[in-house]
Homo-oligomer: A and B are copies of this chain.
Amino acid sequence: MIKIGIIGSTGYAGAVLTKLLINHPNVQIVFLASHSYANNKFNSVYGNFKNILEASCIDSEDAVENYLQKIDVLFTAMPSGKTFSIVQKAISKNVKVIDLGADYRLKSKATYEEWYRIDHPCSNLLSKAVYGLPEIAKMKIKASNLIANPGCYPTASSLALIPLLKYDLIEKNSIIIDAKSGVTGSGRKASIGNLYVECNESVKAYGVTTHRHTPEIEQTLSYVAKDNINLVFTPHLIPMDRGILSTCYGSLKKEITLNDVYSLYKEFYKNEPFIRILDELPETRWVKGSNYCDIGIRIDKRTNKIVILAAIDNLMKGAAGQAVQNMNIMYGLDEKTGLEIIPMFP
């Protein structure tokens, strides 16, 4: 059994991760740590776990001081800038780390500091960390002991665009990503902006031209394209709990049929169990609760532009599900272990 602990277990991603790991046949949960709910029963915070999980959350600092030696893998799901000393300690004690946060995703310390406006004291770890998008980094993930689990928007957007760049189908600087997310993406923080009444019955863009997931997507696409990619990324908040739809636009370099693009996508992702290439347009409801990324493609012949749409559950393939997938890969398990979940509809 893989012994694991979670720091940041009472956020939305942490709660979904806890659920997945309870169900995982190869995992034993050693501790659930929380900053806000230390010493509270986990099921008093998330009532769905009543009669299922009777453990109390331990304090995050206590976890770091006294529990690291008892686990094989530490999952961290914390705000940006809060993981530095934790991850260093875990790595120094030979505990593998899967970080659901953003602190190890960007390879460039300067880029991190520019976009996050936080000093990064562990740049040595940046080079060690592997960006855990299994569809392009399976071997590296397997060999790593520090996984930077991709962000929710970057997962959907990168999976949509990678084959376009891999096969050099579009103008490199033509990419526009217009993404829509449910409200769980904002986290479980008491703020006016996240109130029911403020989010319900409205749609807005936010962080236009400034969202921190921009350089993360650019890093991935630049790596695939072997060239420097800049793009426009516009996230939107829409009134639903879960799901991201990423609508991605690019200018085709030359004429290509829709069939041919579909063939390339199917070829590229043929061994990826969580990618579903659809003839139809994807809808977030068809992936809810699962680790799938659904992808649909359209070509606009009139303008010679291509539109790729990708739908994920932001808490699954966009966070906790992908983290478990990464753990499975690290341990040589079938990457689907614990993740063969039929999406929930309705």
Residues of A within 8 A of B (CB): 12, 15, 19, 22-23, 46-52, 173, 176, 178, 180, 182-184, 188, 190-192, 194-206, 208-209, 230-232, 234, 236, 238-243, 245, 247, 249, 276, 278, 280-290, 292, 294, 298-303, 305, 307, 309, 311, 315, 342-346
Contact = CB atoms under 8 A, between A and B. Distances in A.
A184, A239, A288 pick with most chain B CB within 10 angstroms: A239
B50 A278 contact: yes
Nearest to A173: B303
B203 A245 contact: yes
Given A48-B345, A343-B48, A199 B202 contact: no
A209 to B, nearest CB: 4
A294 B278 CA distance: 36
B283 A203 contact: yes
Tell me the number of copies of this protein: 4
Contacts of A192: 188, 190
A307 B209 contact: yes
A46 B281 contact: no
Contact of A238 (B22, B238, B342): B238
A22 B341 CA distance: 11
Contacts of A199: 196
Given A50-B286, A342-B49, A201 B281 contact: no
Contacts of A278: 47, 50
Given A205-B309, A283-B204, A346 B315 contact: yes
A202 B243 contact: yes
B208 A48 contact: no
Contacts of A243: 201-203
Given A241-B197, A284-B204, A345-B15, A180 B180 contact: yes
A201 B242 contact: yes
Contact of A12 (B12, B197, B240, B290): B197
A278 B51 CA distance: 10
Given A47-B280, A309-B205, A342 B52 contact: yes
B195 A240 contact: no
Would you list the 7 A-B pairs with minimal beta carbon distance, nearest first? A202-B285, A48-B343, A47-B286, A204-B283, A178-B178, A196-B199, A209-B300
A182 B203 CA distance: 9
A315 to B, nearest CB: 7
A245 B184 contact: no
B287 A209 contact: no
Nearest to A47: B286
A299 B209 contact: yes
Contacts of A183: 195-197, 200
